[in-house]
Every structure is written in structure tokens, then in C-alpha cells.
Amino acid sequence: MTGSWFQKQFTLPARSRGSYLITDEVVGALPELKNYKVGILHLFVQHTSCALSLNENWDDDVRADMSDALDRIAPEAGPKGQELYRHSAEGPDDMPVSTVFFLLPSLSVAVALT
């Protein structure tokens, strides 16, 4: 296909904090991709407690190591279980996850005007 594009919204299931491989789910939700040989896929997440990143997938330990590293950068609690964040009305994991989302680099940034 030349000079064409499409937009589609799909939902992934909610998951607990962690790093997840979602390639198969994205490809499954976008069967139209098989019609393209070259192009750009822009994924946009509407929830502020979720972030997207690109990583290698050769070894499952990469995702586990990434989750461990992000947990060290933005832990849910201090070493003795003490609260680390003032905002906790949405649960103890809200601010650590929001912090991780803020720190992760993006390949592109999308702003939804609604």
C-alpha cells in the first residue's frame, strides 16, 4: 500500500506493575499491518499509569531486569516499609508508576486533544 494510513483503537488487559511483552497482542489487534511493507506504527497510551518502551527480546531476563531496575528507581515503599510519596489516595503503586512513566524515554510523543 502506498500513501495510506489507518487509525484504530484497541484495549489491552489491565496488568499489575511490571514489564510486559505486548507485540503479539498489538499485531493481533491490527491485522491491517499485513498490508504494509514499510511504515510507522504509532502507539499511544491513554492511561498515565502505563508506559511503552522498546527493548530487546532475546532473553526473558531483560524484562525482569528492567522491572527490577525500575522498582529500584521508583519503589513503592522505603527499605523499612515507610511511605515515600505524599500522594497515595489512588493506592501505594500510583506515584511509583507515574514516576516511571515520566522517566521512560519515548520514540514519539502524542498529545490527545479531546
Q: Which amino acid is at 90?
A: E
- Cell numbers linked to 113: 486533544
- Of 69 and 3, the structure prediction assigns the larger pLDDT to 69
| pTM (predicted TM-score) | 0.71
Q: What percent of the chain has pLDDT over 90?
A: 11
The HSE-up count of residue 56 (CA atoms within 13 Å, CB side) is 5
pLDDT at position 54:
75
**Chain segment 31-69, per-residue pLDDT in tens:** 988 888 777 788 887 776 777 777 777 788 988 998 899
Segment 91-105 shows an average pLDDT of 78
What's the rounded Cα separation, in Å, for the pair 31 and 70? Answer: 32
What's the rounded Cα separation, in Å, for the pair 36 and 79? Answer: 50
Mean pLDDT of the chain: 79
pLDDT-derived band at 105 (thresholds 50, 70, 90) equals low
Measured between alpha carbons, how far apart are the two ends of the chain, in Å?
A: 30
37-51 burial, b for 16+ CB within 10 Å, e for fewer?
A: eeeeeeeeeeeebeb
Widest CA span in the chain: 58
Q: With beta carbons less than 8 A apart as the criterion, state whether 74 and 101 touch.
A: no
Domain definitions of the chain by residue range: 23-103
Q: Which residues contact 36 (CB under 8 A, 6 or more apart)?
A: 1
The answer, yes or no, to whether residue 112 has pLDDT greater than 60, is no
- Cell numbers linked to 1: 500500500
